[in-house]
Structure formats: C-alpha cells, structure tokens
Amino acid sequence: MKNKFKDNSQLIQLLQQVDKLLTLSPFADRQCNFMEICGTHTVSILKYGFRNYFKKRINFLSGPGCPVCVTSQKDIDKVISLAQMGVRIATFGDLIKVPGSKSSLEEQMALGKEVNVVYNPLDCLKIADETDEEVVFIAVGFETTIPVIASLILDAKKLRIENLSILPLMKTIPTALNFLLTNLENEIDGFICPGHVSVIIGERPYKIIPEKYGIPCVIAGFEPVDIGLAIESLVSQIRKHTPIVDNRYKRVVKEKGNISARRLIEEVFEKTDVEWRGFGEVPASGLKLREKFSKFDAEKKFNINVKSSPEPEGCICGEVIAGKKQPVECPLFAKKCTPDTPIGPCMVSYEGACSAFYKYGEE
C-alpha cells in the first residue's frame, strides 16, 4: 500500500507553497528559527534534506527532545555508581555508551558488571523473577515511555517482587518548554512539537506557547510529507500573525491525548524538581514515585551518594540541547567525538543531534 506521507508529488507542492511564502513579508530579509522538540524530528529533517533545502531561510534548532541527551552528568554517574555496587542494571540500549565523569556502563560491562539491555520496561519483571540479585531499571524517558514504567511498578507490587526497583530519571516536556522560553532568551519563531509525546499529552499543554508568547506550534509526524506540512503550517501562521497549536498529526494524536495513560502516570508518580543537561534544575519538570511506591525507588533503596560533575571538557551538548549552538560548532565534533568514541550523550543516542549530524551531515 502506498504511504501518502511519503508521496513525493505532494511534498513538491508543499515545498513550492513554502518557497512562495518565504519570498513575502516578514521572511524576505530574515531567517526563521524553528525548534524541533523531538530527536526523531531532528533525524527526519536531516535525513530527508530539509535542512539543506531551506538553508539561510530556515534555521532548524535541536531542542530537548532526546531523553538520554538531557539526562544530567550527575544522573549518569548515579547509574554507574549502581553498577559498581554490584546491582544488576536493566536499561535501554542508548544509555550503554553514554560517558559518566569517570566511566560508562559499557566499561562496567567489560569489568564484569551485569547490565541487561531491554526494549520494554516490563521485561524487567522476568529478569527479576529469574534471579535473586537486585535489579534496577534505569527509568529514563518522556511522557511516551512513562506510562509503561508506571505499569512496571504496579505489576511489581501486584506480583510482590521485592528485588526490583527503578532509578527515576523521567522528565516532562511542556514544563521544559516553558522554562526554555522564560529563562534562556532564545529567539524562536516556531516549535515543531513532538509527535510521540503528544500521543499521550494531546494538544492542550502546548497552548500556553502561542497564547502567552505568541509563538506558533505544530504537532507533526515524521515522514517527509509530515515535515513539509509542519513547515508550511509554521510559515503560514507567522505570515498571518495567527499563532496556534496546529495538529498536523491527527491520524495519531488526538486533541485530549491518551487519558488512560495519563491516569497511570498520575497514580504512580508525582512532580518533582529535576536537573536537565543544558538547563540546570527545572522546577516540577520531573517525576518521582509517590510515597506508597517508595520501596521501588533505587535511589532510596541503595542510598546513592554522587556529587555534581562538570560537563566533559570541550563538549557543548548542553548548548545544543538548549538551541544555542549547532553540533558542527563543537570543536570535538567528528574529531575526538564520534559514534565510536562519544564524549557527550548527543553523539551516542540515535535521537541525539550530534549523532544525526554525523550520520546525515550538511552539504
């Protein structure tokens, strides 16, 4: 079956519309800054050539859309500390090569520490059931992943599994966007909002952006036509001075999101202040276990004591995540820092901006 969102003829028409709009006021004498809040959008924009096509007309900025990338250096060190204690770690694969201040999970595996890569947090139930060792799932993720982590906790409690816990490093996107706009003084003309996260949270959490800041938003998918629709929406909104939250991903994202998934999150977790790489501490932008589930909190269970650590010398991942710099501006990019020898997390994760730039590059 033909996928209409990969239809080249439709994409050509969209690009022609945008090309025409960009010759008109207010675009004729300035470049727009559009920030994508999802690492998969960063990949699509590079992979399908949008960055090169709109060069010097639209500047695409990578935002805080990769959960591994925004995890602070201190939190990475907590993960390494758990492995060094002899705890069996269960984690998504993206985290394995992320360097802490002194080591990485990959290095700990080489030293004989137990690390299991999982594709679904619920796999941890089986791992914990088959061993007497303590098992800790590294709970990194945004709203897309958090409902499944909530299910993991509820199932562990129901099954009375005593040797399983999580290190809660989860973050929520809308609070971070508001923080970005109020604290970092970025000149952003439009946001491409994350498709995956929006499936859970719906359209409403973004409305503060056009209503308070007058900045257009569009919720988009990831195919070439999806990206074209997103760019056309933002350019049209700017042209008409009518900023809204435009949902161009209605085949997946509903206005109210997934209410059942949000109830799961609400049942298990509550808001807390957390540190983001590139932002510092952002109030109420993370989630911790509610008190009735606190026995599943690995940070309390193992009394982890890790001091804050500086970013790796020369690494600008924090500035890339905040939209202040592009990966190619990093002095380490593609020299000392490559996918085989990553120095910062943005070069490790598939959704990381540096990894995407390294793979798909710019002409």
d(Cα 297, Cα 223) in Å, to the nearest integer? Answer: 38
Q: According to the model, what pLDDT value does residue 181 have?
A: 87
Which residue do the tokens 């679904």 mark?
Answer: 120
d(Cα 174, Cα 199) in Å, to the nearest integer? Answer: 13
d(Cα 273, Cα 363) in Å, to the nearest integer? Answer: 41
Q: According to the model, what pLDDT value does residue 270 have?
A: 98
Strand partners, 58: 32
d(Cα 304, Cα 99) in Å, to the nearest integer? Answer: 18
d(Cα 68, Cα 103) in Å, to the nearest integer? Answer: 16
Q: According to the model, what pLDDT value does residue 7 have?
A: 76
d(Cα 33, Cα 325) in Å, to the nearest integer? Answer: 12
Q: Select from 321, 278, 354 the least CA-distant residue to 64.
A: 321
Q: According to the model, what pLDDT value does residue 183 have?
A: 77
Contact between residue 43 and residue 350 where contact means Cβ atoms under 8 Å apart: yes
Distances (CA, A) of 137 to 79, 192, 362: 10, 31, 37
Q: According to the model, what pLDDT value does residue 355 have?
A: 95
pLDDT tens, the chain, 363 aa long: 456 667 788 899 999 999 999 999 898 888 999 999 999 999 999 999 999 999 999 999 999 999 999 999 999 999 999 999 999 999 999 999 999 999 999 999 999 999 999 999 999 999 999 999 999 999 999 999 999 999 999 999 999 999 999 999 999 999 988 888 887 666 899 999 999 999 999 999 999 999 999 999 999 999 999 999 999 999 999 999 999 999 999 999 999 999 999 999 999 999 999 999 988 999 999 999 999 999 999 999 999 989 888 888 999 999 999 888 999 999 999 999 999 999 999 999 888 999 999 999 865
Q: How far does the chain reach from its first CA to its final CA, in angstroms?
A: 33
Sign of the alpha-carbon dihedral angle for 258, 262, 265, 268 = negative
Q: According to the model, what pLDDT value does residue 2 have?
A: 59
Q: According to the model, what pLDDT value does residue 357 have?
A: 95
Residue 138: how many other CB atoms lie within 10 Å: 27
Q: According to the model, what pLDDT value does residue 307 have?
A: 87
Q: According to the model, what pLDDT value does residue 331 have?
A: 96
